[in-house]
Amino acid sequence: MTPPDELHRHHARWLQRRRRLRRLLRPLPRRANLTRYPVLKWFAEHARRAAFLWSFKRANVMPSLYVGSVLAFLPVYGLQILFGFGLALGLRGNLTLMVALQMITNPLTIVPIYGFTAWVGLGAMALAGVGAGWPDALRYTNALFVGGVIVGLAFALLADLTWRLLAWEARVFRQRLDALRRHRGAVPDSD
C-alpha cells in the first residue's frame, strides 16, 4: 500500500474518532450551550471566561475525575450539578467531565447505586466498629456517605486508568499520523 493511501485511511479513522467523541459530549455543558442549564446559566458569563473549565489538560481533568466520581455516588441527587460546578471552579477542574460524571446517578440508576453504596458503607462501618449503637436512620445515612466515598474512589481509579490508556493510545495514534504526514512531505507524490 502506498503511504498516501495509508495516510488517508489513518486520517479518516482520526476524523471518525473526533466525530464519535463530539457526539458523546453534545448534551454536556460547553461554552456555547451554558444557557440551556437552569442553574449554570446564572454563572454563564463567568464560566465562559474561565478557560480551565473547558480544558482537557491533565491538570484540569484529574481533579474533576476524582472529585466528580465521588460526588456522583454521594446521596446528594438533584444538587450534584450545582455542587459539581462549584467544585470545578474551586479546584480549577474540567466542567464538562464533572457534569458527565454526575449523569451516572439518574432516575434509572439511583436505587441500585444507593443500595450498593449503603451496603458498602455498612460493611466498612462494621469493619471499623463504628455505628453499631446508632439509630437506624443515622447509621444508614452515614453508610450512604461512607459507601459513596469508597465506591466513588474505586470508580475514579478505574476511570483514571482508562483515561491514561486512552491518552496513551491517542498519543500513539497522533504520532503515527504525524509520521505519515512527514513521510508524505518527504516523498514526492507519484501523480
User: What does the domain layout of the chain look like in residue ranges?
Assistant: 3-186
* pLDDT value of position 145: 96
Cβ-contact 101, 69 below 8 angstroms? yes
Query: Exposed, middle or buried, 175 (CB in 10 Å: 0-12/13-18/19+)?
Result: exposed
Query: How far is the C-alpha of 185 from the C-alpha of 191, rounded, in Å?
Result: 14
What's the CA gap between 102 and 32, in Å, rounded? Answer: 20
Output the pLDDT for position 172: 84
Q: Which amino acid is at 82?
A: L
Separation CA 175–CA 143 (nearest Å):
47
Per-residue pLDDT 10s for the chain (191 aa) are 446 677 777 778 777 877 887 777 666 666 666 666 666 666 666 666 777 877 778 898 999 999 999 999 999 998 998 899 889 889 999 888 898 899 999 999 999 999 999 999 999 999 998 888 899 999 999 999 999 999 999 999 999 999 889 888 888 888 887 887 787 776 554 44
CA-to-CA distance for 69 and 34, rounded, in angstroms? 22
Query: pTM for this structure?
Result: 0.71
